[in-house]
Each structure stands twice: as C-alpha cells, then as structure tokens.
Chain A
Amino acid sequence: MDQYHNFTLEEFVWDDSFRNWVLRPTREDDEKWQTWLVENPEKKALIESARQLVAAISPKEAPLSSQEKKSAVSRIISRSAEEELLPYPAVTPWYEKSWLSIAATVLLMIGLGWGIWFNNQRTVVDYEELVAASTDQLMEKVNSTGKPLSVKLEDGSTVKLNPGSRISYPAGFKSGKREVYLSGEAFFDVAKDPANPFFVYANEVVTKVLGTSFFVRSYTNEKEVSVAVKTGRVAVFTRNDPALDIKKNSRELSGVVIEPNQQIVFVRETVKITKSLISKPELLEKSTLHHNFEFDDAPVSVVFSTLQKAYGIEIIYDKNIMDECPVTAKLTELSLFEKLDLVCKAVDASYEMIDGRIIIEGKGCKMN
C-alpha cells in the first residue's frame, strides 16, 4: 500500500483497487483500506473526496425494472425447455417422472391436438371474434357517415376510416405492442415507435409496422383482404401462420414484407397471399422534386434506375444485353405503366410484374 502515499486525487479516482473498494468492496478490501486510513490520518479528506467522486460518477443506464427482468429471464428458460423437447431426448426417463407431470403432459397434448383440429376446421376469422377474444378494454368507432372519418389514437397515430367500416382499439396501449382491429377499409398513418410495433388485425390478416402509412381493406363479406403501403415498410402474415408468434415478436419485419407501391392480396377462400404492385403506383413523396424524366440518348439502364428510385419498385433486367439501348423520351407526365410501355416499345422489350417487382425482357439493341 506504500505507493498510495503520494497519490493525487485523480490517481485515486482511477485506481482499480480504490474503485473496487468503493464500488464492489470485499471484506479484505475494506480491512486493507480502513487500516491504511488509520495509519495515514492526514489522507482522510483526500480519500473522502475521491470516494465521493467514484461513487457519484457513473454511466447513465437504462431503467430495467425487476419485473421486466424477471419475465425476460423466465422467457429464456421456458424457450430453452421448448427447444429441448425437439432435438434431444428428455434428460430424465419418463418412468422417473411423477405421475402428475405425465398427466399434465397428456392433457396438454390433448389440448394441443384439439387446438390444431379446431384451427383446421375454422380458417375464416372475423372481426367480431377477434374483438371478443382481445384481453384489452376496447373502444369502437363505427363510420356510418358517407365520408371518411378520422380517428386519432393515443400514441399519435391517425386512422382514416372509410364509410361502412369499424375499428376497435384500446384507450391506452400497453407497452410492448399497439394492437387495433379493423373491419372494412382504412388508411393508417402510424406514429413511429419501433420499440412498440403496431399491429392491425383485419380478419385473417395481420399487418405489422413500426411506423409508416398504409392502407388496409378487409370487409367481412368480401373474398379478399388487401394491404397497400404508402410510405415505409410493413410486414403481413395470416393469423393461421404456424410461425405467427415468432413473426409477431421478432424485431425485424418478417413475413411478406411490402414496400411503397406494393400491395398484398389475401384470398380468403384459398388462404393464399400474393404480392403485387398497386394499380397506379405513385412517385415516392420525397422523390417528387429530384427526378427528371426527360432522357436524351441515355442508356436504358439509366432510365430504369431513375424509375426504380422514383417509385421505389425494383426493376430487374439483364444489364449486359440491354445497356447498349439508347432512349430519348419525355416521360414526366405519364404514369409508371405508361412510362414503361413507352420505354419498352423504344427498346423492343416487354415487361411483366412478378411478386411486386417489374421484370423486363428484351433482346437488346446491338446492331451486329
């Protein structure tokens, strides 16, 4: 302990042994430093200053309640037990287990079997059932007028509810997720809050977003449910998706992810989701000003990449073959599909839409 005689305040503040005594003292540490203080009474004020500084300065840490931690820990434990069931044989042989737990297992399996059977029988889910099954206290807005009705949610999100549509939502969202139920048609402008994803339950279809604007159409008496995106990205999956919980809880958007100008259509009868482009793709809002759609002898790749950026829609083509093709055109006033028609005509190509993307087919323009 001799080295401490000439220590300055600063040196004490950053000394390991000293810090440990202040922050994580063991019995030995404490004895050691108390003895040293008795032997060096003149250092008492200095040590006291250093001790206060060490105790007072700390990194700002995020609050984590013991309840939150407890539930996180037990979730890990239960998940690890679930995974155990699949790849490995059980650790204790079944005959060593108490009869009680076997009975419980059998009961659970019967329950599960019934659940699976039940799910298979009933693929059509409607709004009333979803609302009835919710554990939240829900409020309902019904638009019986002839005009869209604007509904403001507690988190700052707004919903434009079309005539004949209804929405149920809690007065206050619980932390972790924001859930609303829709029957009919509505445009959502969701307040950004990635920590609390926003879910729209519309009959069989679940739409998950972190903060964006989009359109949902889901009338109980119609054959299709559709979701279209205006800004941002949303993920869509069906309620009977076997991985529903994983997709709902994952921090990434998994499921079918759609982007601006894309839509998904869920056909209720065949339980199939398809992704496509909406019928009139619009320029992305932020890009309206920057794009120049007048091309003068430009390679077709430049035209495609301009369109791709302006509409946020992926355009796929063979660069090797098509790049030689020059395009001179003024496309500014045209819709996306009109633009594509013109360009394709100019370079002797055709396009089709697959999976929300545009695929260009052409033979190229090499003259030899």
Chain B
Amino acid sequence: MKPIIIDNHQEDREITLWRELLAGNVSSFEQLIDRTYDLLFQYGNKFCRDRELVKDCIQDIFLEVWEKRNALNHNIPPRAYLLASLRRRLHRVTQRNRLQPVEDFSPEGSQFDVEFSAEYQFIQTEQDQQIASRITTLMNELPKRQKEAVYLRFFHDLDREEIAAIMDIHPQSVSNLLQTAFKFLKTQWKAIISVAIFFRFLA
C-alpha cells in the first residue's frame, strides 16, 4: 500500500490564504474555510455533540475574522488561531447554557471527549491487531486534557506552541501533558508486547 503523496506544504498555503483574506480577498477566505472546516468541525464535536451548535459557532468565528480582518495579525498560524477561537466560543456558549440550566443541554457539554479506535482491516497479522486493540484501550483511558493534547499533536499534526495557544496553557504544560500520556502508554505497552509474544508462541 503506497501512501498518497501531498506536494505542497499545507501550512504555508494556509498562511498565504490567511494574509490574502485579511487583505479582503473573498475567494481566499472561502478556500481557507474549506480547508479548515473539517478539522474545526471534528474538534468542536469533541466538546459538544450538538452538530448544529458546532456549525453555528464555526460560522460565528469566521464571520468575526472577516469583520475584524483589518485588526488581525498577519503572522499567526491560522489553523491554531481558528481552533483556539472555536474552543473559547464553545466554552462560552455551553457555559451560558449551564448558568441557566435548561434540561435540554447536558451540563458536562464543554469537556473534550474523544474515543480512539482501530480499523482492523488495515492490519494484517493477528498479533498486530491485538496490539492495536490494547493501544486504543489505553488511549481511551487517558484523562481528557491528555487526550486533547494527544489528539491535536498526533492526529492533526499541531506543534507544541500551537497546542498551547489552542488550549490556552503554557507550552511547557503541553509537553507535560504529552509526557505523562506517553509514560502511561509506555509502561502499559510493555505488558502488551509480552502478551503479543506469548500469543506468537502459541500460534
């Protein structure tokens, strides 16, 4: 299975689009929305299962960008900026709903929640399938903030500084979150490997 090759560097393209949109270019604005929409939607959905609410919030943050485009910084990475704005907005909206409790909104609505899973048809050997199953179980046991950092770092390729901006914490805290997560995965991993080896002997 050969990977699909992506030629141009995503991030550079987004920064270009960002600058063009800040200068008032509607077509660049549209392209940037199109490129980042899936990620924003997926990320937002981890805080709030109400997809219409997430879509409304994404719309609001883009409209705000457009409205304030004269005042925004040309040099910030747009992806992280948009994710951070969406996260803040979702918190604000769900917080407000929590203050005046409406039975239709879940009170724990603004916590990051994700479930990791494995697609076993991609894995050939039974031994690797066992490993995949154990890894996902362990990942799902991680605390929410560690999960969020892992999600952004390893599944959406955001770097430490960007994650710090998004989660509104110090970059060092991001490193700590990731290190704690990996310490946990690593110690448990040893157990996985020995189980896997055991199975190989049985086979």
Contacts and interface: CB of A to CB of B under 8 A. Distances in A.
A61 interface: yes
A216 to B, nearest CB: 18
A212 B30 CA distance: 38
A55 B51 contact: no
A153 to B, nearest CB: 18
A26 B104 contact: no
Contacts of B201: none
B128 to A, nearest CB: 5
B3 A22 contact: yes
Interface of A: 9-10, 13-14, 19-27, 30, 48-49, 52-53, 55-62, 64, 69, 72-73, 75-77, 79-81, 83, 91, 176, 192, 194-195, 210-212, 231-233, 249-253
A260 B34 CA distance: 43
A212 B37 CA distance: 33
8 contacts: A26-B7, A49-B125, A59-B115, A60-B114, A73-B30, A77-B30, A212-B103, A251-B53
Given A61-B45, A80-B67, 15 more contacts: A22-B3, A26-B7, A56-B118, A58-B155, A59-B151, A60-B115, A62-B51, A69-B41, A73-B30, A79-B63, A80-B26, A176-B52, A194-B50, A212-B104, A233-B103
B4 A25 contact: yes
Interface in B48-101: 50-53, 55-56, 58-59, 62-63, 66-67, 93, 96-97
Contact of A252 (B67, B96, B155): B96
Given A59-B114, A176-B52, A64 B30 contact: no
B132 A53 contact: yes
B37 to A, nearest CB: 6
A25 B132 contact: no
7 closest Cβ pairs, A-B complex:
A210-B104, A56-B122, A251-B53, A25-B3, A80-B66, A62-B45, A56-B118
Interface in B93-141: 93, 96-97, 102-105, 114-120, 122-125, 128, 131-132, 135-136, 139
A24 B65 CA distance: 28
B203 interface: no
B88 to A, nearest CB: 16
Contacts of A59: 42, 46, 114-117, 151, 155
B5 interface: yes
B161 interface: no
B78 to A, nearest CB: 15
B5 A26 contact: yes
Contacts of B41: 62, 64, 69
Contact of A20 (B30, B63, B157): B157
B105 A25 contact: no
B33 A53 contact: no
B128 A26 contact: no
B123 A52 contact: yes
Given A22-B3, A27-B7, A53-B135, A60 B59 contact: no
A251 B51 CA distance: 10
Contacts of A75: 59
A80 B116 CA distance: 36
B29 interface: yes
B182 A72 contact: no
A36 to B, nearest CB: 15
Given A80-B66, A210-B102, A10 B3 contact: no
B6 interface: yes
Contacts of A13: 135
Given A52-B122, A59-B116, A10 B155 contact: no
B52 A251 contact: yes
Interface in B4-18: 4-7, 9-10
Nearest to A82: B63
B167 to A, nearest CB: 16
Nearest to B106: A194
B143 interface: no
A73 B114 contact: no
Contacts of B170: none
Contacts of A232: 102-104
A202 to B, nearest CB: 21
B144 interface: no
